[in-house]
Chains A and B, each alone.
Chain A
Amino acid sequence: MAGRGELIAVIGDEDTVTGFLLGGIGELNKNRHPNFLVVEKDTTINEIEDTFRQFLHRDDIGIILINQYIAEMVRHALDAHQHSIPAVLEIPSKEHPYDAAKDSILRRARGMFTAEDLR
């Protein structure tokens, strides 16, 4: 498994996606499918869920970055994903700062740390 390059996918609002694309993670695969999705005000939840599921099934994506407020919308799809790869990371957006209480992963270990650790 080592040696095979994998991509970082992004699902976020326009600013987040632009920033990360400038960071150099964007790619179109041979079917001209991008590894990112720009979520605007009129993007439906189904579209987001579909793209998320597609990213999960693609075997060349190792990490999926998703804005936390979008993750809230498709929380059920995130919670259903139990594998360790691809890793799903929740990142804050400009309007919504990071809230540790809503993070899928941290919720699994909720009993093991106290509020002091989060400060």
Chain B
Amino acid sequence: MITPLHSSLGDRARPCLKKKKESGWAWWFTLVIPVLGRLRAQTIMKARLKGAQTGRNLLKKKSDALTLRFRQILKKIIETKMLMGKVMREAAFSLAEAKFTAGDFSTTVIQNVNKAQVKIRAKKDNVAGVTLPVFEHYHEGTDSYELTGLARGGEQLAKLKRNYAKAVELLVELASLQTSFVTLDEAIKITNRRVNAIEHVIIPRIERTLAYIITELDEREREEFYRLKKIQEKKKILKEKSEKDLEHRRAAGELLEPANLLAEEKDEDLLFE
């Protein structure tokens, strides 16, 4: 057989390097053990192939679940962004109204910044094994702009504050959707990469090794068969040779036949007949 240069089976695949014992009973032992080793390698490889295929199917399912969620989120993002456009327009409008009635209060507002009343918390959500960050807004503290607009335009200012508070809530929701979107994008890319790696690298490799082992086993079987036939032939030849030898010696009269008890008619040991 052609010996492979590189094989994951090592020296077992190079019979010229294997030591063969031809003496007596130990001889047939060396036949059986390598074959057993190959069979075991085959079952191991089959188990690995099965494992790789199961893993690939699971990862595909995970990728599908993630992609489904991804598309849902994307749709929601588009809707919310359109809605946000509208809400922002309304809020900007009410700002213009308030400026009209209350005068320019921008500088006072900017100077009086102290503590935020609206803050956000990040929570974790789980989708098919991927943790997504989700924002939740909450209020704390009092309104530091309670006194603004007391002079004039108080109602417009109150409306303005309400509009912007609504805008902030919507934007927090949008931010949650966006972070989920980005995280899912990454997760999907990684999962798809893994699926492709298993599908195009690992499984073909295992299948090739399995095919190689099977051809090796077949080869071994053929070798055994051939060897047995040769032995039978040799034995036959030896037998014929020894028979011929016997014939010759008998013909030459060298061979003394041992006494045949049954053929003798007169027994010398008997004194009286």
Which A residues lie at the B interface, using CB under 8 A?
1-8, 14-28, 34-36, 38, 62-63, 65, 82-85, 87-89, 91-94, 97-98, 100, 103, 105-106, 108-109, 112-113, 117-118
Interface size class of B (residues with CB under 8 A): 35 or more
Cβ of A36: which chain B residues have Cβ within 8 Å of it? 113
Which B residues lie at the A interface, using CB under 8 A?
71, 74-75, 77-78, 81-82, 84-85, 88-89, 91-92, 95-96, 105-106, 109-110, 113-124, 133, 135, 138-140, 143-145, 148, 157, 160-161, 163-165, 167-168, 171-172, 174-176, 178-183, 185
Q: Would A22 and B71 be within 8 Å (CB), given that A28-B114, A89-B174 are in contact?
A: no
Partner of B118, one of A16, A24, A97, A105: A24
Interface of B, secondary structure class, is helix
Partner of A19, one of B95, B120, B133: B95
**Is A91 in contact with B171, judged by CB distance below 8 angstroms?**
yes
**Is B81 in contact with A6, judged by CB distance below 8 angstroms?**
no
**Is A22 in contact with B164, judged by CB distance below 8 angstroms?**
yes
Partner of B116, one of A26, A84, A92, A108: A26
**Is A113 in contact with B78, judged by CB distance below 8 angstroms?**
yes
A-B contact pairs, 14 of them (CB 8 A): A1-B133, A5-B138, A8-B171, A14-B106, A18-B109, A18-B110, A19-B164, A21-B113, A22-B145, A25-B117, A87-B178, A92-B89, A94-B92, A108-B185
Q: By CB atoms of chain A within 10 A, which of B77, B135, B163, B179 has the most?
A: B179
Q: Would A28 and B113 be within 8 Å (CB), given that A22-B145, A89-B171 are in contact?
A: yes
Q: Tell me the complex Cα distance, A5–B119, Å.
A: 6
**Is A117 in contact with B75, judged by CB distance below 8 angstroms?**
yes
Whole-angstrom distance between the Cβ of A92 and the nearest chain B Cβ:
5
